[in-house]
A = this chain, B = another copy of it.
Amino acid sequence: ASSLCLYRWYYSRICQWGLGLTIAALLLLAFVERPSSLSVSSDGRHRSPPWEPPCGFTESIEMVCLLIFCLDLAVKSYLIGWDEFRKGKWLIGYTVVLSFSIIDWVLSVSMVCDERLRVRRLLRPFFLLQNSTLMKKTLKCIKRTLPEIASVILLLALHLCLFTMIGMLLFAKTDDPKRNGEWELHFRDLPQSLTSLLVLLTTANNPDVMIPAYSLNRGYAVFFVTFSVIGTYCLMNLLTAIIYNQFRGYLLMSVQTSIIRRRLGIRAAFQVLGCRGAQHSTEDEQVGVDAVLEAMSRVQMKTYCRAAITTEVQRYADVGHMDREQFRKIFDELDKDRIKEHPPLPQYNSPVLQRLQMIFSHYYLTILGNAVALANVMCICTVLVLNSEKSTAERDNFLLEIINLCFILYYVFEMCVKIFAFGWRGYLSYRNNIFDGFLTVLLLGLQILIYATYRLPHAHWDPSSHLMSLWEMIRLVNMLIVFRFLRIIPDIKLMALVASTLLDLVKNLRAFAGILVVVYYVFAVFGIWLFEGAIKPPPEMSVISNTTMENITSNFSMECGTYEQLSYWSNNFDDFAASLILLYNVMIVNNWQAFMEAYSRYTSDWAKVYFVCWWLTSSVMWVNLFVALILENFIYRWDRSHSCSVTDVERIRYETSLQLIFK
């Protein structure tokens, strides 16, 4: 009984939230730890030395987190018992990682924070993985897909090697120096040819790599086009197909497993409750309604599910007991979605008020509101276009301010009128209104602040005396108005479907986002470890010329398209935040060869391995997983939303089988 209590306490919401917060705190430490990311810019040319935490500050936070994890591990192993503990690979891994981290921590404290290698940082994402069932499942799914992915990657490698060899044969050095352009720039030796074609596989150097050969002879384009069509279009998309295919099967099975588990749980609950109410049983097993109701009142579940099940159970109150089939059936309520009901409109007695309520609750008011919001955005746009070349002093802020004021007053009016028509609770029951109202109140507050600070009638003020200048305040107001314009989305039907799919996606994305965090974390820590301070920006630039335009001029001495010429100095591995952005830029793929080339030039050619690994993990694996997720989600949602409107026989048959699968 005490262990059951502990179990309930451990899996209570507070406890799990606490654990999640601890993990988040531990992961976020990477931003503060040396090399700390707490500087305005990551650009080595003009960044102030960041605030470095004193030794022992991050370490003590870390120790607290680790101790909480120890406690967590102890509770978990106590709860599931020693036999299960030995079998679970994740728990054994947890123990190993935890003890290793503590040993590493002790070492690092004993060296007074002067260590170069912080291996435990690499291991931190493990805590995140270990804590989420969904992520573990997704990882298992990815593991299952690996053989097929490996076969495509093997095919890609074969494709790459064959084309590299054919390319080297095709663009070999000839006696005529005029015809050596391609050889000189892209096919000089094996590593260079391999890199050129690998980058072409990602399309990141597409027209450039073929230009020297193509401008000599059109025929050479065939080589590059064939390479891209087979590699980029066919093989890469086949990877998407494979991942989607595997993923489709996996979701199906995991959902079925969880349904079977729930069935088992319900069956067990029936058995237990049946034993307690043994006096009722005659020949068949039965449970008493009182026992079920008592159990229901203690179980943790969503309130509307509980209410629905309790109502169902009370239908058997006059019989006093229910058999197995009936017991199973009442839990079908869990599968039903909650139907959202809006509170009724408030009743007014005066006929004038009723008339007004009818007008204001009409759909046309929303359309008018959208039109006004559009007008406001257009207005801001016009002012922006007119002001784009003017300096701050030349801009006429007053006019814009007064226009904004009018619009914001209309918004406030619209909000009040809607609250009047729908009532306070009715207004808030629409998610759209919450978004709208929140922004309106914020805008009103900002406007009041502006008037309080600047007292507009006095047209001349000292711009330096205030925290924010009038122009910046108005800029903020304008951004909020533009953002508020998003309220039109739910009013356009197809856009609403698409947008709600996106919102749905965000919910289902947690496991993927978690894995993305893990992958980014490991690669960023690894990157800092390998490349910290590898690229030193030229110091004289930060002294003499600082503006971008001048940089461009002074960069003309460098070769075009390189890291230095593009002044990518702020993309480096000198701190955690900067590494994340660099990794993101490589994930986006465009121009990733500039980073790869620069780091392999400043350190060694082996740096390419790091970048290719990251490209494979992020852009090939993760992006394809993401596409698979979007496909899965959209198709499921589409089938569900069209089940009523389309009477197509095939579709319904298909759709119901899908619904059975995914429920």
Q: How far is the CA of A590 from the CA of B207 in the complex (A)?
A: 8
- Nearest opposing residue in chain B for A506, CB measure: B234
Picked from B40, B158, B256, the residue with its CB within 8 Å of the CB of A650 is B256
A584 to chain B, nearest CB (A): 6
Q: Residue A638 at the B interface, CB < 8 A? A: yes
B-side contacts of A245, CB under 8 Å: 634-635, 638
B-side contacts of A380, CB under 8 Å: 165
Q: Residue A377 at the B interface, CB < 8 A? A: yes
Q: How far is the CA of A249 from the CA of B591 in the complex (A)?
A: 38
- Nearest opposing residue in chain B for A163, CB measure: B482
Q: How far is the CA of A589 from the CA of B569 in the complex (A)?
A: 26
Other A-B contacts than A221-B581, A248-B635, A560-B566, 7 sampled, CB-CB below 8 A, are: A151-B497, A165-B384, A166-B479, A189-B389, A190-B384, A190-B385, A206-B591
Is the Cβ of A494 less than 8 Å from the Cβ of B147? Answer: yes
B-side contacts of A234, CB under 8 Å: 502, 505, 630
- Nearest opposing residue in chain B for A575, CB measure: B218
A interface residues with partner B (beta carbon < 8 Å): 37, 39-43, 45-46, 147-148, 150-152, 154-155, 158, 162, 165-166, 168-170, 172-175, 177-178, 180-181, 184-185, 188-190, 203-208, 211-212, 214-218, 221, 225, 228, 232-235, 237-238, 240-242, 244-245, 248-249, 252-253, 256, 377, 380-381, 384-385, 387-393, 475, 478-479, 482-483, 485-486, 489, 492, 494-495, 497-499, 501-502, 505, 546-549, 552, 555-556, 559-561, 565-571, 577-578, 581, 584-585, 588-591, 594, 623, 626-627, 630-631, 633-635, 638, 650-651, 654, 657, 661
Is the Cβ of A233 less than 8 Å from the Cβ of B560? Answer: no
B-side contacts of A650, CB under 8 Å: 252-253, 256, 661
A486 to chain B, nearest CB (A): 7
B-side contacts of A547, CB under 8 Å: 177-178, 180-181
B-side contacts of A630, CB under 8 Å: 234, 237-238, 240-241
Q: How far is the CA of A256 from the CA of B650 in the complex (A)?
A: 10
A549 to chain B, nearest CB (A): 6
Picked from B154, B214, B216, the residue with its CB within 8 Å of the CB of A492 is B154
Can you list 10 contacts pairing A with B, beta carbon distance less than 8 Å? A39-B218, A41-B214, A151-B498, A165-B377, A172-B475, A173-B389, A175-B392, A207-B591, A238-B501, A242-B498
B-side contacts of A232, CB under 8 Å: 588
Q: How far is the CA of A630 from the CA of B201 in the complex (A)?
A: 18
Q: How far is the CA of A37 from the CA of B253 in the complex (A)?
A: 57
Is the Cβ of A590 less than 8 Å from the Cβ of B203? Answer: yes
Binding site of A, secondary structure by majority: helix, strand, loop or mixed?
A: helix
Is the Cβ of B165 less than 8 Å from the Cβ of A548? Answer: no
Query: How many copies of this chain does one complex carry?
Result: 2
Known: A151-B494, A638-B245. A567 touches B211 (CB 8 A): yes
Is the Cβ of B237 less than 8 Å from the Cβ of A627? Answer: yes
A77 to chain B, nearest CB (A): 34
Is the Cβ of B181 less than 8 Å from the Cβ of A549? Answer: yes
Known: A207-B590, A486-B162. A384 touches B168 (CB 8 A): yes
A22 to chain B, nearest CB (A): 26
User: Which of A173, A633, A657 counts the most B-chain CB atoms under 10 A from its CB?
Assistant: A173
Q: How far is the CA of A217 from the CA of B47 in the complex (A)?
A: 10
Q: How far is the CA of A235 from the CA of B502 in the complex (A)?
A: 8
Picked from B189, B206, B501, B588, the residue with its CB within 8 Å of the CB of A388 is B189
- Nearest opposing residue in chain B for A565, CB measure: B560
Known: A214-B581, A237-B627. A390 touches B162 (CB 8 A): no
Known: A190-B384, A217-B40, A585-B206. A631 touches B241 (CB 8 A): yes
B-side contacts of A42, CB under 8 Å: 214-215, 218
Is the Cβ of B166 less than 8 Å from the Cβ of A585? Answer: no
B-side contacts of A218, CB under 8 Å: 37, 39-42, 577-578, 581
B-side contacts of A216, CB under 8 Å: 40-41, 43
Known: A40-B217, A208-B566, A249-B651. A388 touches B237 (CB 8 A): no
B-side contacts of A240, CB under 8 Å: 627, 630-631
Is the Cβ of A588 less than 8 Å from the Cβ of B155? Answer: no
Q: How far is the CA of A635 from the CA of B247 in the complex (A)?
A: 12
- Nearest opposing residue in chain B for A164, CB measure: B381
Is the Cβ of B590 less than 8 Å from the Cβ of A549? Answer: no
- Nearest opposing residue in chain B for A392, CB measure: B175
Is the Cβ of B626 less than 8 Å from the Cβ of A233? Answer: yes
B-side contacts of A505, CB under 8 Å: 234
Q: How far is the CA of A214 from the CA of B387 in the complex (A)?
A: 24
Is the Cβ of B147 less than 8 Å from the Cβ of A381? Answer: no
